[in-house]
Amino acid sequence: MIRYPNGKRYSAKPSVQAPKKVSYGNRGQSLEDDLNETNLYYAAHDIAVIHKKPVPVQIVKVDYPMRSAAVIREAYFRTPSTTDYNGIWQGKYIDFEAKETKNKTSFPLNNIHEHQMQHMAAVQRHGGIVFFIIRFSTLERTYVVPLQLVVPYWQALKNDGRKSIPLKEFEQHAHLLATDYMPRIDYVSCLPSLESEETTK
Q: What is the per-residue pLDDT across 111-153, written as a single tens digit (0 to 9) for each?
A: 899 999 999 999 999 999 999 999 999 999 999 999 999 999 9
Query: Is residue 91 situated within a structural domain?
Result: yes
> Which helix (DSSP H) or strand (DSSP E) does residue 130 occupy?
strand 129-136
How many domains does one find in the chain?
1
Q: Which of 150, 53, 71 is nearest to 110 (CA)?
A: 150
Residue 56, helix vs strand vs coil: coil
Query: Is residue 171 situated within a structural domain?
Result: yes
Does the global pTM surpass 0.85?
no
Find residue 41's DSSP bridge partners: none
Residue 107 maps to which CATH number? 3.40.1350.10
pLDDT value of residue 122 = 96
Query: Is residue 73 situated within a structural domain?
Result: no
Query: Is residue 62 situated within a structural domain?
Result: no
pLDDT value of residue 196 = 75
pLDDT value of residue 23 = 35
Torsion of CA 53, 129, 15, 40, to 10 degrees: -70
**Given a cut of 70, is residue 79 above it in pLDDT?**
no
Beta carbons within 8 Å of 39's beta carbon, 6+ residues apart? 48, 50, 51, 52, 85, 87
Please write the tens of the pLDDT for every residue from 60-70. Answer: 577 777 766 77
Order of strands across the sheet that contains 57-66? 9-10, 2-3, 69-77, 57-66
